[in-house]
Structure formats: C-alpha cells, structure tokens
Amino acid sequence: MRFVASSAVLVAATALVGGCNFSNETNADLVAGKQLFVQKCGACHTLAHASTKGTVGPNLDQAFQQSHKEGFGESTIRGLIKKQIVYPARGGVMPAGLVKGQKADDIAAYVASVVAKPGQDTGLLAAAVKQAGGGAPIAAKNGVLSIPADPSGQLSYVSAKATAPAGQLTIEMPNKSGTPHNITIDGKGAGKIVTNGVSQFSATFAPGTYTYYCQVPGHRQAGMFGKLVVK
C-alpha cells in the first residue's frame, strides 16, 4: 500500500474529509491496525512506531510532520488516510481495494495515532508485531538452509543469523507474506523473486562469513539481510 501525503494535500482534502463519515472512531482496533499496516503497507512506507522501513512510497513520518505543526488533528489525518485507502491515486502503485471496511478503518486509525509523533508504542501495541529478524539463529539441516521471509510482511527474514557446515548447500527462502522477496548471496547465487512461494539456489561454500539479502529494490537498505557463518 502506497500513500501520498503532504500538508498541501491535507489542506485540499480537509473539506472532503470533514464531510465524509468514514468510520466510527470508537470502533477502531489499533492493534489490528498496526498488524495490518505492517503486513499490507510496511513494504512501501517508513513509519517509526511500526518499525517499517519501506522506500517505495513516502516516509509517512516526514510527510505528516508539517501537518502536525500546522495544527491538523488526528481525526483529520485519519480521514485523509482512509480516503487514500478507499480512493488511491489513479496510475499509482497502491491498488484499489487492498483492504476494505473495518480493516481500512483500523489501519487509518493506527497510522493517525502515531504518525510523526516521538516515542515508541507501548502496552498491547508494543507486542502487536514481533521484532523483525529477531528469531533464533537458523541451522542447516541435511544440506538445506531454510530462512523464511517474515510472514507478517516486514522487510526482514525471520532470523538475521544462520549457520551451516562447509560443502554443498541449498539456500531456500519460503515466502508466505504476499510481499515480493528473494534470497541471494553475492558470488554464490540468487533465488527468483516470489510473492507466495520459495526462492532458492544451490552452491558450494567454504568456511567463512557470508551475507544473505533480498534483491528487491529498497529491501536490503530497509534491513532485509543477515549473516551466514559456515564452519
């Protein structure tokens, strides 16, 4: 999901948003909104509270900084975000109908509650999404090293650490997130980019330390990489 946001757009949209009853604010589920944002939007957008680092679309914290300074309230920002979800720009990257109904309300409410604000999420929101790449180190088994992409849609693998014995090795990356990813190691090989499938390649490894990463533009820069130690 790719949003477009600026204070100028906010000014132009305020009248429209004010006249649209997109949702009842008391019914929004912020925890679900954060989880959905990470899964559906985090690959394209940076949002500090959600720990997403997508670069395809605008950095939302930067985009809404001026809006906060100019006094636009949370309800106005929420309405604009919901409007962009329901009516994305023609010809843009974000498809229409990516999320609908209550899910769109939840995303809009969560983003509006944290965007361009200092600090970190607390309580249930802090635990809503697992830390990207924070899983236990993954060890190769029977000549196969399987390092899944984060299933929640974060730009990371489930673990940023892996180990394997020297010799012939198949590197595979199951991806169930719906966000395109692959896995590659320079000089050894690269799996195909997949959305729902398995990216894999095989190579012979000498003892040493190797970096595995995703080749999709912006993903490595956002933190989708890890270290493989071969002994």
**What is the predicted pLDDT for the residue at 10?**
47
CA distance 196 to 105: 26
* Phi/psi of residue 132, nearest 5 degrees: -65, 130
Question: Please, which pLDDT band fits residue 7 given cuts at 50, 70 and 90?
Answer: very low
- pLDDT one-digit tens code per residue, 75-100: 999 999 999 888 888 777 788 888 99
- pLDDT one-digit tens code per residue, 108-153: 999 999 999 999 999 999 999 887 777 899 999 999 999 999 988 8
b/e for 100-135, b at 16 or more Cβ within 10 A?
eeebbbbbbbbbbbbbbeeeebeeebeebbeebbeb
- Please give the distance of CA 221 from its chain centroid, rounded to a whole number: 13
Of 221 and 201, the structure prediction assigns the larger pLDDT to: 201
To which residue do tokens 């399987």 refer?
146
**What is the predicted pLDDT for the residue at 3?**
61
**What is the predicted pLDDT for the residue at 144?**
98
Q: Which domains does the chain have, with CATH numbers?
A: 7-126 (1.10.760.10), 138-230 (2.60.40.420)
Of 172 and 90, the structure prediction assigns the larger pLDDT to: 172
